[in-house]
Amino acid sequence: MNTTAAATEAQVTAATIRTWCRKGVIAATKQAGRWIIDSVSLAHRIAIGQRRDRVTAQTTYRIEQGTTVKYGEERTTWTIVRTDGTPAGYGPNKDARIWDATFSSKAAAEFYAHFYENTPSHYRIERTIPRAGRMDRSTYWRVTGSLDADPRNLDDKVNADADPYSLDKADKLIQRVSLHAKGAEERIAKKADQDAINAAEAAVREAREAQLAEARRLKGPLATARQVDFILQLLERREYTGEGGGFFYGPTDRAGIEEMSKRDASTYITSLKGDY
C-alpha cells in the first residue's frame, strides 16, 4: 500500500509513515520515488505500540515515581513494578526482569517498561558499551533470550547511539523478539523429532553392540573392519564379473560378515579371491 493508505490505516500522518519507512520501523521499498509499504509489517507496528500514551495504556507493568538520596542529594527515581503484584526476583512466581528496574531517567523507565509489556518474560535487553581499543565505538541495545525448550537463543542488537531511549528503538527490539518467538514452536518440534531419531539410532547401535559382544564371546576375535570392507568388495566383483572362488561360503551382508570370526573371515577372503 502507499503512504496515504498506510497513514489512514495507522491513524497517523503521511509524514510519520515516511519517517517510519526511512528508519526501518516498517518494511517498505521505494518504487519510482514513492514508498510501498508492506501491510503485514504495518499491522505489526500498529499492534505493538502506536498509541498516544503507550505507558499509561500498559496493563502488566507500571512506573512508580519515587525519590532516593545519593551523595547527600535527593533525586527523583522511576521504578518499574508489576500491576498484578508479582514480586521482583528469580524463581517461580517472580519476575527477574524487574529485579533492578529503578532508573534516574523517566525515558529509560518508559523504554524498558514498553519492551517488557510487549515481549515474553524470557527475553532480556541490555545496553552495551564499546570496549577500549575496539574499532566499533557504537553503543547498542542487545536483546537475548528464548522461550522454554527453544533450541535457538535470540542474540540481536539495535544501534543505540542517537536517542537511545526512543520507543521506536524499543519497537525494533520487540519486532525481533516477535519474529524469534513466532518460530519457536517449529524449532521445538524439529528438535523433538531429531531427538527421537537420535534416541532410536542410539537404541539400534546399543542392540548391535550387544549382538557383536555375544558373537565375540562365542567365536573369539571377530572380523576386522578392513576384512569386512574387503569381503564386500570381493562379493560385489563376483556378482558383476563372475570372478572368484567358492570353496567357502559365508554371509553376503555387512551385518552377517561383522559377526564372523577373524579366522573365518580370512578363509572367506581366500575363497572369494580364488587363491587355492
SS3 for the chain is CCHHHHHHHHCCCHHHHHHHHHHCCCCEEEECCEEEECHHHHHHHHHHHCCCCCCCCCCCEEEEEEEEEECCEEEEEEEEEECCCCCECCCCCCEHHHCCCEECCHHHHHHHHHHHHCCCCCEEEEEECCCCCCCCCCCEEEEEECCCCCCCCEEEEEECCCCCCCHHHHHHHHHHHHHHHHCHHHHHHHHHHHHHHHHHHHHHHHHHHHHHHHHHHHHCCECCHHHHHHHHHHHHHHHHHCCCCCCCCCCCCHHHHHCCEHHHHHHHHHHHHCCC
User: Are residue 31 and residue 86 in the same domain, yes or no?
Assistant: no
261 part of a folded domain = yes
pLDDT in tens, 79-115: 999 999 999 998 889 999 999 999 999 999 999 999 9
Contact partners, residue 199, CB within 8 Å, separation at least 6: none
150 part of a folded domain = no
Average pLDDT for residues 7-26, to the nearest whole number? Answer: 84
Indicate if the alpha-carbon torsion angle 189, 194, 200, 203 is positive or negative.
negative
User: Are residue 28 and residue 42 in the same domain, yes or no?
Assistant: yes
User: Are residue 38 and residue 23 in the same domain, yes or no?
Assistant: yes
Residue 248's CB is within 10 A of a number of other CB atoms, namely 14
Q: Determine the pLDDT at residue 140.
A: 94
pLDDT in tens, 158-193: 999 989 999 999 999 999 999 999 999 999 999 999
Q: Determine the pLDDT at residue 20.
A: 83
Residue 129's CB is within 10 A of a number of other CB atoms, namely 9
* Residue 77 contacts residue 68 (beta carbons within 8 Å): yes
pLDDT in tens, 21-76: 887 888 988 888 888 989 888 888 877 654 444 444 558 999 999 998 878 888 99
pLDDT in tens, 216-251: 999 999 999 999 999 999 999 888 876 666 667 889
66 part of a folded domain = yes
Average confidence score pLDDT of the chain: 88
d(CA 71, CA 102): 17
Expressed as residue numbers, the domain containing 263 is 220-276
Domain end among 15, 31, 49:
49
41 part of a folded domain = yes
Confidence of residue 273 (pLDDT cuts 50, 70, 90): confident
More confident residue, 126 or 135: 126
199 part of a folded domain = no
User: Are residue 70 and residue 83 in the same domain, yes or no?
Assistant: yes
224 part of a folded domain = yes
pTM of the predicted structure, to 2 decimals: 0.62
- What is the number of domains present in the chain? 3
User: Are residue 32 and residue 71 in the same domain, yes or no?
Assistant: no
Burial of 177 (0-12, 13-18, 19+ CB in 10 A): buried
Q: Determine the pLDDT at residue 48.
A: 62
Q: Determine the pLDDT at residue 136.
A: 67
User: Are residue 34 and residue 58 in the same domain, yes or no?
Assistant: no
User: Are residue 57 and residue 107 in the same domain, yes or no?
Assistant: yes
User: Are residue 45 and residue 93 in the same domain, yes or no?
Assistant: no
User: Are residue 57 and residue 112 in the same domain, yes or no?
Assistant: yes
131 part of a folded domain = no
- The set of cell numbers assigned to 103 is 532508573
User: Are residue 274 and residue 226 in the same domain, yes or no?
Assistant: yes
29 part of a folded domain = yes
Contact partners, residue 14, CB within 8 Å, separation at least 6: 3, 4, 6, 7
User: Are residue 238 and residue 271 in the same domain, yes or no?
Assistant: yes
- The set of cell numbers assigned to 75 is 533525586
User: Are residue 45 and residue 88 in the same domain, yes or no?
Assistant: no
